[in-house]
Amino acid sequence: MVTLVAHGDDARVDTIGVMAFGSDEPMRRDTIFRITSMTKPILALATMMLVEDGRLALDEPADALLPELAHRQVLKRIDGPLDETVSARRPITVEDLLTFRMGHGLITEPTFDPPYPIVNAARDLELVMGPPDPRTPHDPDEWLKRFATLPLMYQPGERWQYNTGSLVLSVLVARASGQTLPDFFQMRIFEPLGMKDTGFSLSAEKSSRLPSNYMTNFQTGKMELQTASGPGVWTKPPAFPSGAAGLVSTIDDYLAFARLLLNEGVHENRRLVSQSSVRLMTSNHLKPEQMAGGGPILAGQGWGFGMAVATAPDDVSPVPGRYGWSGGYGTYWFNDPSQNRVAIAMTQVSDVLFNGTMTEFAQLAARS
């Protein structure tokens, strides 16, 4: 693991352990991690830059640039046949995609992705709606074309559902910018912030800085090496650059992004995005019933644009307003504006997200 806690310009970094079980190669400050869903806040920033450019508007129907999503149908019931639908009451907006209220996403109850017709249909279309690996084999246009054959699960704006909004938003940002998502991120975010080791793919040399990835097999109880995201995968640009979970980064690169938000859009005396855009990104947009219906992923938190927002005091901060997100391969970040604090922990052992490790890290970081 590599951890970082920063107050203002001061940052403490600790490197702990090795790159793989059985290895003597130590973790380093410049180790590159698969940050999976910590990609989502970066996608939200890119979206707000396009809003400020006048290329998008938050209340604009997404089908203005994504005509594939016009005239949506909505399932009468979540577990029902795909042809039992009603018309959507309104179009999906850009803000719906940012707040994960587009009407489609992961189902968490009664189990994760139960065998409902809508879940099976997405799997048959190779849409890769949940875990980031294996990657979808389809380019953005083909992915959206296939996705558009499915009805929505709920009416736009009705419920919070994880992940799909950022996949659709990945296509929208590319079309609105007139660039590929990697090129837009590189030009508008990575280069200005000096994020030199962040991207959707890596050189062969840099790929050697990826640690091995592990997760416990719940059937056997044993921790197992995960092979779907090996270094060789990252030397090839993906068919679909996913703003949901497609980036790798380092702890210092992500610190630059986190500080941009903590400084409300300013990096090294240069404004990259407006204060009002950052405040929209980092404020809760959900109704209480939507927060309560967010299942174990949201865990009662609020949601801004691409990240969770604490709406009440808790054991990490007595002041609401902390924001951030985690990645399914074992990465975690939050900003606490009330304390001028950034906290980041990166490993590639997924277990830390559900065994209490990251909760303990957040509590310790808050007391540092």
Flag whether pLDDT at 132 surpasses 90: no
State the pLDDT at residue 134. 84
Beta strands (DSSP E) in the chain are: 2-7, 10-15, 33-34, 73-75, 85-87, 213-217, 222-226, 248-249, 266-267, 270-271, 302-303, 308-309, 323-327, 331-336, 341-346
State the pLDDT at residue 130. 82
- Domain closes at, from 146, 177, 208: 177
DSSP 27: P
Q: What is the pLDDT of residues 210-232, one digit of tens each?
A: 999 999 998 999 999 999 999 99
State the pLDDT at residue 180. 98
Flag whether pLDDT at 275 surpasses 90: yes
Distance CA 287, CA 37 (A): 23
- How would residue 266 be classed by pLDDT, with cut points 50, 70 and 90? very high
Judge if 100 and 58 occupy the same domain.
yes
Judge if 118 and 210 occupy the same domain.
no
Distance CA 54, CA 260 (A): 21
**Mean pLDDT in the chain?**
97
Residue 306's domain comprises 2-35+180-367
Do 194 and 139 meet the contact criterion of CB atoms below 8 Å apart? no
Please compute the mean of the pLDDT values over residues 50-75 and round it to a whole number.
98
Flag whether pLDDT at 327 surpasses 90: yes
Look at the chain and report how many structural domains it folds into: 2
Q: What is the pLDDT of residues 4-22, one digit of tens each?
A: 999 988 999 999 999 999 9
Q: Indicate which CATH number applies to the domain containing 299.
A: 3.40.710.10
- One-letter amino acid of 69: L
Q: What is the pLDDT of residues 346-364, one digit of tens each?
A: 999 999 999 999 999 999 9
CB proximity list for 218: less than 8 A, separation 6 or greater: none
Judge if 265 and 154 occupy the same domain.
no
Please compute the mean of the pLDDT values over residues 259-274 and round it to a whole number.
98
- Domain closes at, from 113, 143, 177: 177
Beta strands (DSSP E) in 121-261 are: 213-217, 222-226, 248-249
Flag whether pLDDT at 184 surpasses 90: yes
Flag whether pLDDT at 170 surpasses 90: yes
